[in-house]
């Protein structure tokens, strides 16, 4: 059986990743493909337990390096138990955040050294890397306003301040520029349907027929 296809969604708070993943799931499901939706941090029982440590509590609960280690512990369990098995059986995996978020949040945002993150990425990911990454981009202040309006369970990261979130946006833009074969930048300031049409257009062009 052919390997599946791994799509990650990235971007700052309030970019609309979850909404667009659900829209894409419906469109892909209509083609008869198996679609697996998952998220980070989390996605497997062990990783969800670590997620609870990461997304709650005071903004300074963890140092950037400790936070990075927790992220990668969760990521390894997630890969072993969910992502790799789904890809092995030919599924399309849609993941809300993956390794690029660690580069942005713990790296550019928090100051964890890039070489430290890179070493963990090389050791933990192995051959499990996204085939396509959709980066939903919008100004940090707009995203934070949207996030505040929706409520949600990631208040610890949302509370880190405007400068932190501006660094996140800059990091995602830099990732998109550095890896254009994998990454697509999508203007997330537009309405849900317009963003969804852009997402579907890129996915169709990369995924091909079922």
Residue 102 pLDDT more than 80? yes
Residue 46: CATH number of its domain: 3.40.50.300
Rounded to whole angstroms, the Cα distance separating 139 from 141 reads 6
Residue 19 pLDDT more than 70? yes
Rounded to whole angstroms, the Cα distance separating 81 from 60 reads 30
Task: Specify whether the CB–CB gap between 85 and 153 falls below 8 A.
Answer: no
Identify the residue with better confidence: 43 or 148. Answer: 43
Q: What are 157-192's pLDDT values in tens digits?
A: 666 667 888 899 999 999 999 999 999 999 999 999
Q: What are 123-164's pLDDT values in tens digits?
A: 999 889 999 999 999 988 887 787 776 655 556 566 666 788
> What range defines the domain where residue 158 resides?
5-207
Q: What are 26-35's pLDDT values in tens digits?
A: 999 999 999 9
Question: How many structural domains does the chain have?
Answer: 1
φ, ψ of residue 55 to 5 degrees: the values are: -100, 0
Question: What does the pLDDT read at residue 159?
Answer: 60
Residue 83 pLDDT more than 80? yes
Omega before residue 41 within 30° of 0, cis: yes
Encoded tokens for 132:
């396509």
Angle of CA points 193, 199, 201, to nearest 5°: 105
Q: Which 3 state secondary structure label does DSSP give 138?
A: coil
Kindly state the DSSP code that residue 40 receives in the 8-state scheme: S
**Confidence (pTM):** 0.91
Confidence of residue 93 (pLDDT cuts 50, 70, 90): very high
Task: Specify whether the CB–CB gap between 75 and 8 falls below 8 A.
Answer: no
Encoded tokens for 54:
């990461």
């Amino acid at each position: 059986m052919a390997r599946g296809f791994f799509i990650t969604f990235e971007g700052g708070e309030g970019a609309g990743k979850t909404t667009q993943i659900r829209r894409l799931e419906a469109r892909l499901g209509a083609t008869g493909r198996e679609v697996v939706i998952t998220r980070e941090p989390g996605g497997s029982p062990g990783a969800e337990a670590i997620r609870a440590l990461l997304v709650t509590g005071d903004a300074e609960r963890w140092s950037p390096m400790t936070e990075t280690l927790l992220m990668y512990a969760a990521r390894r369990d997630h890969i072993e138990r969910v992502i790799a098995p789904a890809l092995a059986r030919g599924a399309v995996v849609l993941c809300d955040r993956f390794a690029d978020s660690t580069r942005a949040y713990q790296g550019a945002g928090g100051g964890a050294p890039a070489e430290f993150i890179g070493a963990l990425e090389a050791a933990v990911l192995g051959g499990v890397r996204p085939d396509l990454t959709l980066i939903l981009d919008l100004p940090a202040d707009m995203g934070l306003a949207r996030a505040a309006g929706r409520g949600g369970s990631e208040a610890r990261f949302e509370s880190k301040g405007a400068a932190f979130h501006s660094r996140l946006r800059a990091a995602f833009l830099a990732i998109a520029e550095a890896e254009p074969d994998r990454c697509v930048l999508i203007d997330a300031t537009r309405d849900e349907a317009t963003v969804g049409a852009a997402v579907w257009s890129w996915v169709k062009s990369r995924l091909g027929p079922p």
